[in-house]
Structure 1
């Protein structure tokens, strides 16, 4: 990884026509250290990398992201991390190491119980969705119809039709979803 970080720093520095001396002045890091970093001969602390990112006008994450071609096509269950929590009720996990450049967005979503059968706001968007219930009872609203889906049940529909999900039980619901378009594609 240190080789990739160094190469990215050097490429950005050169593209901005900065010398090592100028980058050193902007970051308060020595020329020798920056030179070694660019050649992959040393590592860098996050706070120093943040200084370099600011001087080169990029986000810190630019240096930490792996190239898509280097990512493994397999994601082990123990490697999966929470991606997003929506309304303190929907916990999203991406089921891919590399969503960029892919048309499909596979996700595991855990839906916490609601306190009552409150009104669900339906919505629509471009694309299509596939939902497969892994655990619990999912209440699915599609085109003003209400469906109860049990483990093993699935639904596949155009996302342009008004829809939404709810969990009106007292147990967590787990669903596998696959969406198009993948909003993280680019």
Structure 2
């Protein structure tokens, strides 16, 4: 299911009483581009989208127009199976056909995967077509939270501050998203991977605890800072999943 990014951004802006020109001035995005995005005439790049949602303080679910109390209707093939969106004993079940989709500039595609509605984790299946980038202007982006990712196929270049990392299928990484970064697919084949953005919309005290926890994991000689399983195990032990 494809969603209208522009309409959601426009509604969020108007709900907060912010004029288009004021938002453009605050974010450094031209009023012309912002107008085109809001009217569906142009798709934002990943960096532009992050800039806007960070300023408007909206979640991915807000952008997709998802109501936590509503479950998607099951597809015809699912009538005899557990319905999409089923929540039993803490289980969120989301069928592949019901993945909300955002398509951005250059064809970069986000599929929102199953996640709890506490705002702590944004789970995404991300696709970068050949030649696509998270910023068409070539500028690095930054936003709150921590990124964990695993590349399923293809290759991708991560620019993190002054360093460049060539990533291939099977590679995984994580970093503090407040560090300037950008993704570029320099090849012809698509690159696809799993992304978990942790704490982008969490309360300030939760982000502070996440930063402290990741710092301790990185400083622990018995732990690999790139070990996502270990980080999430410790997140559970710290009880962070109930915060925010």
CA offsets, 1:64-114, max 9 Å, x none? 946169743344553343421111321000111x55224111100011111
CA gap of 1:184–1:80, structure 2 versus 1, over 3 A, is farther
* Larger RCO: 1 or 2 (CA < 8 Å, sep 6+): 1
- Say whether 1:131 aligns with 2:149: yes
Q: Which has the higher strand share?
A: 1
Alignment RMSD: 3.2
Q: CA deviation at 1:129?
A: 0.5
Verify the 8 A CA contact 2:132 2:185 in the aligned structure 1.
no
How many Å separate the matches in 2 of 1:101 and 1:92?
A: 20
Verify the 8 A CA contact 1:139 1:168 in the aligned structure 2.
yes
- Off by >6 Å, runs of 4+ in structure 1: none
The 5 Å alignment of 1:57-136 reads 65=67, 67=69, 71-72=86-87, 73-96=91-114, 98-114=115-131, 120-136=138-154
Q: Which has the higher helix share?
A: 2
SS of 2:125's partner is strand
- Say whether 1:181 aligns with 2:199: yes
Verify the 8 A CA contact 1:103 1:182 in the aligned structure 2.
yes
Verify the 8 A CA contact 2:119 2:201 in the aligned structure 1.
no
TM-score by structure 2 length? 0.43
How many equivalent pairs are there? 122
Unaligned runs of 5+ in 2: 1-64, 72-84, 204-243
> For residue 154 of structure 1, what is the aligned residue in structure 2?
172
TM-score by structure 1 length? 0.55
Unaligned runs of 5+ in 1: 1-61
